[in-house]
Structure 1
């Protein structure tokens, strides 16, 4: 069975983050059938070893489910695999499919399938076993001309607003929605200035003197929001061709901190904060990812990234200062740490194999989180790098993977694994 066929097979099995049990059991049985000894830990990580392994392949098996996912209707168009009205799961299902192929074809190999990467590198951060191999090849990169040797640190920043309701004079109530923007990955696409649905909605509401009753927006902490909606009160009739607006009649309550919330969102600077022109890479960035209402509070969640731990500290301090100025509560969670770039002999060897297919291949770093930055400490003197096929618009309904690129990276992986038999 080819890598593409493996990918199509696992795409039929639900595996959204936090709901991966079905695919976990499938992969566990696959590894056993392939002749590997298998351990599944309490975090859902699947650790498989065959023979005398010298190289470990690693991918995560959860996916960001957008649109109709986990129901994935896959199709091929213009040399790409895509999905109708949903994310595709090529991030990181293609890597999983390559590992399945290697487990079937080789006698000396180690594979680590990690869980819940898309929601804070949960599996990798809690993996407490030792990797036996000297070399670790991560398959979660998304450009076939790069060998990744470093990645960004990241942290979720949660800002809480009071949600106490107070009466006001009766006004027109509206449901205002902005839907189906392009969305995207808040790391590798943050420099593309993709529209953020939450910020677009907040600007419209402020410009029309709306008072928020409830507000929701975004899909995942590491995705640029494609959808946002709010129930608001307004003295005038709201009209706009850019929004779906539904008149809900007359209401007489509003959110006490409406002005504060809109001020925070509209003053928040979305996107790139620092850029290194010599390396052609984003250094620091932040994305307003989610906003949700409940009975007691409104919670806005941002995801900050930096190529250095010091840069991440600086962003956290800036947002903390803004929150304090507005008397808001602020929390930080799920922090990961930067993987400092280091060109190893293994990375050079992988790049040489890649250049046989793509002469423009280069060694670089990525403005996103990679689990190998955490897992590199799970083996003694382990050399680590990451490669992957061309995947466009991950974490969105526009996600697609180039079939030719998948075959190319699969051939490179095959040659690398063969070298360490």
Structure 2
């Protein structure tokens, strides 16, 4: 069955490209997609990229290229210059191996052994109930396809594939300066065809811990599960401006409403799974007087209707349910006082856009995502991810979170941090890229910055004289089920990249 499905998808790709490109371009674009399918068949959740690194090194050897891996797991494949380009500068094509592994609540997919099940929806590729991993498998596929395309003309290339991009830039931070020789870098992790990205946000991850006391639950208490589900989620950087619901914040809002009508005792809390993904699900196990159950359930249902109206354009699938607890009933819960402190902290913590970028229209400057919520018998823990293109903005928002936590009796710990990639509008590489794009497509590319974090900022700090831009095909909904990549945009990016490399003669 799987063989038939892949064949169907492959023929579908060719059908779309045949409408857009001459025969030679169709074959080259199909080569990118074939590589993309091979990459998505290799499990590569962040922190578990080892097999992807082995696959890349094997691919290099099979195609006659030198490959090297460093102690962290980053891989570089060295591609010789073609005839006439020996004196041109070495070009680095950089992408990352890992993906954010998210799936719907009903999916049975095992990210540690199952290949991504790709499906085609018109001009888009998506996955069955999981993230697609086009972020950044499509960047990897483009780099490999360029290297293997023997008729193409290009300088010497260093194809750099990093690990841990989705977990605090682990690989790029550990990259030794001697690992690569090129000082012109084209990052392939941007997500909008027609745009040349020249800057990105910096980030900081803050862990939060609030101690709580537990006590025996009164016999009059019933135990219930409050669940927020069905949200769209998305990338905590590039989708944060879309005002999609954050399941943890919605859970806090519902709990805060309920506690004004009954003595709430929290027992368990959980929500979100990735700090860089907007939470789609959150739930609380709680206890309150059984006599008030019907009233409390009605309040929760009424609030669900209000939330449906507020989030009608972004999260049509939202559900808020309050149901009797179905597992073995616990005997203890947080005290009423500490339950109230927890709810107040969850409600007070910021989430979403703090302010917009004054230099680039419709681009967020500073934001945060309350990404993970967990609890045990004596504490609750939260993880917030702050982003900003301004170091001052990053510091101010982190300080605000720290102060809110301090007032609530919680402690904070900054876990990961990386600086913004500051734009250089006078870059020679940008000027060259704009000229090539204009010649190919008859219009100016959009020159912009993004609110997501790109490894370019770390590379710029490591190599002060490095020329850097980022490009990529159009991807929507990264870091959540429903992630998709626009097939025609892949061919346009490939064509642009081929001509940009050829321009160095």
What's the TM-score bracket when you normalise by the shorter of the two chains?
over 0.9
1:307 equivalent in structure 2: 389
RMSD: 1.9
Three-state SS of the structure 1 residue aligned to 2:454 is coil
Q: Which residue of 2 aligns with 1:203?
A: 253
Name the counterpart of 2:418: 336
Cα offsets for 1:202-249 (capped at 9, x unmatched): 211221123211101002111110111111112232533632333127
Give CA-to-partner distance per residue, 1:328-379, whole Å, 9 cap, x none: 1111011000111102010121223333337252211111110011113444
Indicate which of 343, 347, 350 corresponds to 1:269. Answer: 350
- Say if 2:265 and 2:333, in contact at 8 Å, map to a contact too: yes
Q: Which residue of 2 aligns with 1:146?
A: 195
Which runs of 5 or more structure 1 residues have no equivalent in the other structure? Answer: none
1:192 corresponds to: 242
In the alignment, which residue of structure 2 is the partner of 1:244? Answer: 321
Equivalenced residues, count: 421
Query: Judging changes above 3 Å, is the alpha-carbon distance between structure 1 residues 334 and 392 closer, same or farther for their aligned structure 2 residues?
Result: same
Structure 1 Cα separation of the partners of residues 410 and 452 of structure 2: 28
- DSSP 3-state at the match of 2:325: strand
Which has more strand, going by share of residues? 1
The range that moved more, 189-198 or 164-173, is 164-173
**Partner of residue 183 from structure 2, selected from 123, 129, 134:** 134
Does structure 1 retain, via aligned residues, the 8 Å contact 2:360–2:449? no
The question of 1:41 aligning with 2:67 is answered no
SS at the partner of 1:2? helix
- Asked which structure has the greater CA Rg, the reply is 2
Give 5+ residue unaligned stretches, structure 2.
Answer: 1-29, 82-88, 104-108, 305-318
Q: Does 1:110 align with 2:164?
A: no
Q: Determine the C-alpha separation between the residues in 2 that align with 1:23 and 1:292.
A: 30
Structure 2 partner of 1:51: 80
Partner Cα separation in structure 1 for residue 463 and residue 64 of structure 2: 23
Which deviates more from structure 2 when the two are superposed, residues 36-45 or residues 94-103?
36-45
In structure 2, relative to structure 1, the CA distance for the partners of 1:358 and 1:97 (3 Å cut) is: farther
The residue that corresponds to 1:94 in the other structure is 138
| Superposed displacement of residue 19, structure 1 | 1.2
Whether the 8 Å CA contact 2:237–2:451 is kept in 1: the answer is: yes
**Counterparts in 2 of 1:255-266, with a 5 A limit?**
255-256=334-335, 257-266=338-347
Contact 1:163 1:294 in 2 (8 A): no
Q: What is aligned with 2:434?
A: 351
**Could you tell me how far apart the structure 2 residues matched to 1:102 and 1:375 are?**
22
